[in-house]
Amino acid sequence: MVKILIAEDDRDIRELVVLTLGFNGFVVTGVEDGRFAVEEASQNSYDLILLDVNMPRATGYEACREIRHGGMNQETPIIILSASGQEEERFQGLEAGANGYVVKPFAPDVLVQKINSMLNE
């Protein structure tokens, strides 16, 4: 079973992603901020991690850097979720160690396709 961690401070978006991915056969853990994402990633192994950019306590970029520099999920694919599709933000995500970037709002099937693509690389 493929395990996915999502960190998203907007409860509605987080629940939508958890339900959508669950319906597609993934086992999903949802947390509400970047700090919880780092803690969860250091305690458990995941096949893929989704990080929102703007979250309290730690941004998605900060969480990505921390996950990349320690713990068991250093090689795990990370996708940044952001309301901004500007090139500078995409660059920041890649510089932080992310493997991909999805702009919100997104269609659930597009996110599933991106995840499947990332997992099959």
Q: Express each pLDDT in 100-121 by its tens digit.
A: 989 888 888 899 999 999 998 7
Q: Express each pLDDT in 21-30 by its tens digit.
A: 999 999 999 9
Helix H segments across 80-120? 87-96, 108-119
Average pLDDT of every residue of the chain? 90
Q: What is the dihedral of CA 34, 69, 41, 64, to 10 degrees?
A: 30
8 Å CB contact between 19 and 43: no
What's the gap between Cα 105 and its chain centre?
A: 15
8 Å CB contact between 97 and 67: yes
> Distance (Å, rounded) from C-alpha 121 to C-alpha 109?
18
Q: Which residue has the tokens 């991915």?
A: 21
**What number does CATH give the domain 3-119?**
3.40.50.2300
pLDDT reading at 72 higher than 70: no
Residue 71: what pLDDT? 65
pTM for the model: 0.93
